[in-house]
Structure 1
Amino acid sequence: MSALAQALSSGLDELGLGLSVEQQQRLLDYMALLNKWNKVYNLTAVREPQQMLYQHLLDCLAAVLPLQKRFPAECDLLDVGAGGGLPSVVFAITCPHWRVTAVDTVAKKAAFIQTVAHQLGLSHLHSVHARVEELSGAFDLVTCRAFASLPNFCASSAHLLKPGGSWLALKAKHPQDELDELPAAVSVDWAMDGDAKPA
């Protein structure tokens, strides 16, 4: 087992997330594609694979278990400002019963996600080159990571959220100032600290 595979396995154990050998391999294959395409497309500022695993992959994986509990069956998910596929590709790999759509305004990033979907056999993952404001559709869950402030994220994607749907924003730190600016119609059900425990 490679050092990267071992680090992923250890991280999954810490998160209490049981993934199949095939899912773990797909995550590693995704990281390899991200690292390869990053040299040309500048998908992430993180260049070193071990750092990519901790800063990107495990960060996204920390949200999987709570989301699987909230959406145990089917889920239509939209990832806004998807960039290099974080978290959309991670969720597509770990939640194969979900339908995942990734949207980004940068054509090369949308193309990268479509390539990943094809090469990893993720037929339930699709990418769209567009502005979120121009999209139509209805989603159970709308996500973002390093996209915009919470008020802007909610305002730009509100038309895409199904009644009773949820937003998920992965943030580097707890954004209390942004939470305070959310309109009264938006309720915060749960937040997680850096250790992926409910805050």
Structure 2
Amino acid sequence: MELSDDTALRAELEAGLRTLGLAPTLADPLLAYLALLVRWNKTYNLTAVRDPREMVVRHLLDSLAMVPHVDGLATLADLGTGPGLPGIPLAIALPGLHVTLVESNGKKARFLREAVRQLKLTNADVAESRIEAVDRPGAFDAITARALATLPDILAVGGHLPKADGGRLLAMKGVNPVDEIAALPAGWRLDTVTPLKVPGLDAERHLVVVARA
């Protein structure tokens, strides 16, 4: 059975979208992305999460919980995006946002290019590169990373990418990373820590926003 025909899966996704204040019509492109991910995952091992229902919560809705904090930005670099998380769900939900998916792993980058092509995401591009080697200093309103590294480590490799005036890091974290915040490098300061409620996820999530000092 196609994922798009799985009524329980669709209902769960649509309910989660409503809870997040997003249009249930986003379910179609999101399920198309999920179907592609499930198919490629069998061969390429892109994510350890294998159950599509678990993917809806832990990949799609978890990524989309960021939408209110990204809405209004023009450009975002998703560092170490893996199979496109959170970048592809954000690009689907926010057509006015241009997302650069940064991934050094060749298999994952191939999947990302295919996903961007098949989903017709004209507002997304793939940079197959190590983060520190992306030669686009100051090119982005913000950078984001999900389960990549500590805040100081993310800024060490990707801190050149946000613009000099108002550039930010939007980091998806589990528990509030107090020790990481205390270790922020010079030139960066904590802006906000916002608890996120992800529909269906029984775990702590926080969005940590770090701004240029």
TM-score, normalised relative to structure 2: 0.85
Distance of 1:56 and 1:38 partners within structure 2: 14
Distance of 1:198 and 1:180 partners within structure 2: 16
Distance of 1:111 and 1:65 partners within structure 2: 29
Consecutive unaligned residues of structure 1, counting only runs of 5 or more, are: none
Distance of 1:192 and 1:12 partners within structure 2: 19
Matched, 1:136 2:135: yes
Distance of 1:52 and 1:120 partners within structure 2: 18
Consecutive unaligned residues of structure 2, counting only runs of 5 or more, are: 1-5, 199-205, 209-213
Question: 1:77 touches 1:140 (CA, 8 Å); kept in 2?
Answer: yes
Distance of 1:47 and 1:4 partners within structure 2: 14
Distance of 1:172 and 1:114 partners within structure 2: 29
- What is the DSSP-based 3-state SS (H/G/I as helix, E as strand, rest coil) of the residue aligned with 1:159? coil
Matched, 1:111 2:101: no
> What letter matches 1:5 in structure 2?
R
Shift of 1:20: 5.7
Distance of 1:159 and 1:184 partners within structure 2: 13
User: In structure 2, what is the equivalent of residue 36 of structure 1?
Assistant: 39
* RMSD of equivalent CA atoms: 1.8
> What letter matches 1:111 in structure 2?
R
Distance of 1:170 and 1:198 partners within structure 2: 5
Shift of 1:159: 1.1
Alignment of 1:23-172 (within 5 A): 23-68=26-71, 72=72, 75-137=74-136, 138-163=139-164, 164-172=166-174
Distance of 1:15 and 1:126 partners within structure 2: 26
Question: 1:111 touches 1:127 (CA, 8 Å); kept in 2?
Answer: no
Question: 2:17 touches 2:24 (CA, 8 Å); kept in 1?
Answer: no
Percent identity, aligned pairs only, is 41
- What is the DSSP-based 3-state SS (H/G/I as helix, E as strand, rest coil) of the residue aligned with 2:190? coil
TM-score, normalised relative to structure 1: 0.91
> What letter matches 2:101 in structure 1?
A
Shift of 1:24: 2.0
Question: 2:33 touches 2:115 (CA, 8 Å); kept in 1?
Answer: yes
Q: Which of residues 184, 188, 195 is equivalent to 2:190?
A: 188
Q: Give the stretch that moved more between structures: 92-101 or 181-190.
A: 181-190
Shift of 1:43: 0.9
Question: 1:173 touches 1:194 (CA, 8 Å); kept in 2?
Answer: no
Shift of 1:194: 4.1
> What letter matches 1:119 in structure 2?
Q
- What is the DSSP-based 3-state SS (H/G/I as helix, E as strand, rest coil) of the residue aligned with 1:160? coil
